[in-house]
A and B are shown apart, each in its own frame.
Chain A
């Protein structure tokens, strides 16, 4: 329906993903003030603490900060947690070698950098206790560092844990110091662990060192990424500025630890909240100013440049002014004006402005009241893009032009970052202190797997470009099509004029692809959702094969109510088109072709196939998303192929009450799909390959231990003496590595079908990267596949090529897509259910791709 959603689903605009776009949606996890951010910023705070004015009416303190810090700093990053799960060792056929062989080798440059350690590099972790206990971390640090045993060593201390590069003489060291007030404090330093460079704690530690280094390079941490406010890119016509920056991480790859960096942008509006308010007041007048202000501002994310933190505006407090005082943590009263003067040397100009209220995330799940922060509008800059802005084509184009970096630009940025890290004195000193050496950019060899042929009904076509074969198959007949005899078109009174030419187009393209489109019955209705629904309720009967609605606007009401009624109350495939789309005369043929293909699929037709050498193979795609209304509901989509040619699909979707993205209902799904397969093929499939999308960081273990057994239990049915063999592949669209090909002194995107299965992979997993999408502008991001369970014992080469073949089978796009087709179908299904239907679609539609 919505073109943008479709493009997004196809994954072509993914290169814009690095930009923080959008007004904060209702879900707190999607804002830039997410718990992860706070975690990242606090663990990086080994050296300094950020203090923000906190003002609590009931002055309920959230407990002593020192203790909470100790707990947090030792918490593991989620993606590192995944690394502890070693799936490869159980897969005998890939234990020694997980690389494929077919295809042309290609030399690739990556965004990964070598990180060299001395041979016997080790880190010593100590626990430090103070007696009597001291609350202030600064005091603890000062006391500890004063001792001669430590003063000339390389060290890091966060208030509780001390890291040293050289071992202390004794396992337990007792120290004693005196504070300025004359108290004697006993310090006990106990060795806990000796860490090698591959241990998770150590990796986290090195990450923190690099975060410190980036700060030294005058970059500021916002969220998880680092930005450089000193080199902004201005887009004056839209009052925007972009801060360039990087997302960095250090993590273990196939043979060693590597540093990876990717370019990221922060979108900021060159407007403070106060300016916005003044402007609004001028426009609306004072009478309804406060209301308008609340309406427009509440929910936006602002950035305070004095500490480069982001907050969401949860409320506006019109009764508090900057001249009011608040209580600091230590209990002293101070006015906001004075506080900003003292703390940041900022003089506020408007002393009558109201205060913005932001609710802080509760860091621990204790029972303290939510902490709120008061922010000064004058110091808050609007960030991100509002919904209004994202629908502004010109604005988005201007932003995309700056942020969609070509591979060459990206490569240059990375080279500059590497250069900065290596040249900057402080950064080098820091690295050398810890015995690290920042090495060169890594290049590796990938393979381009051979292109696939597209099988049509009476024609085998070798597309000129796998990215888009629309032209190549224009004259070919589709594999199978049902004749469409009885169907209805509902359109608004005013839209009548588009129908005649559209219908003749549709019939023409239909007949050329072998899809016989009969004349519909046309019903004109008034222009409101209620009229559409009522007309549909009256006219749709069981003989109707398909309902087409020509909608006057893309108002969500129309689409939602029609889809809701026709997918669950009364199961008939439906096709919605906007009047606007049909009134573009020049585009009519291509629009009609796309619609004809979609309609054919919705009726159960098949468009094309690729050659799959494996006989009796079922492929399955699973995706999970959250319901748009009810965040506690997860929508789980399951799409399985039901014929050996992999052209017909069985789709189911269930809503499940859960807060985690883990599916409960896979057994039901799988059993249903197997029954369906057995009915059509009179046998069970010999092999099943499941592609699971939507697995977040840190969830791998749960998928492995909870979802795989569900699938297994339904596959190994006692009745059948030969059970199907199962493989489960976790698909991830977002991954850190990027690959470029080097061509005559410049770099380009890697060609379609590039597979990387060495060096940038993880040693404990059976994994590979596959580039199956093109980026017309910008840099392509590869898709990451991790085979976590494999009974089939397919050679890695075959697994990779099967995955590549499956990326050709998405019928809503005549070209390759970024993830295997079943996954994208499942995604499309969950998208429809979570956004529009909000309940299970009718089972009668399960055999059609009704959600395309």
Chain B
């Protein structure tokens, strides 16, 4: 196998460059289309690739169907975050958020619908946008990233309504509490902050690194991932992955995982997390490791659960990170195949 690979060497300048580009590709973000049949993935070269999940999952899937059906240059810098509304794909990375019409993307006519830049105060370097969050009830899009603020944009008018300041370093992640309209944000400064959307005020601050149970000074303070479910919150990063009870602001479970986690999400009665290392980890709420499912990338940055009711046949978990491949898990037990840039 290895021998065969070496024999197939006749590479010209272009081929070598492309091979190197693929080799050093990182997929930062994923988003499932509103119909549930397509998956958008954004990489560090600012490209967005659209994969057809339904084609790749169908019984007559070929190698061809695991390649992107369309790839386009969306941003100049990496695409750190993407979300989908019921009509649009919103992507953000290098300080701008851009909107693309799903309907047009699928027709392979990829022209941006609009682009917006939040009002930044600094001018030397354009801050990046690390996280996008949709608040469907208020038709709001919340952006957070390099300038340590949460910007709220009205999707109706496209105007930035307010900014929430409080973080002392850049923001990694956002999470929404559905019932009481509150937003959680976690950042490089090691704090998880709760914001009330109605008053646009900070409600609560949890400085995770100050709790001995979960602090890991050699890894740093930064909070890389965040997820909530009613009164519960799970966060990880430099500190260990920890389950918190929000009302009492106490860590209830510390998950025994050495590597920093980059993405965490609740799924039914499980917590799925991924980060450094090629496995998707499944945790019981009690802190037991239920399973570790290996993927194909050396490190994972994002997980995406396709739970669109419109496409029950495409109900899969996809994971992407430090490679040009998006791993597809048809059930939580094992990796079925990989989509590849």
Q: Do A and B bind?
A: no
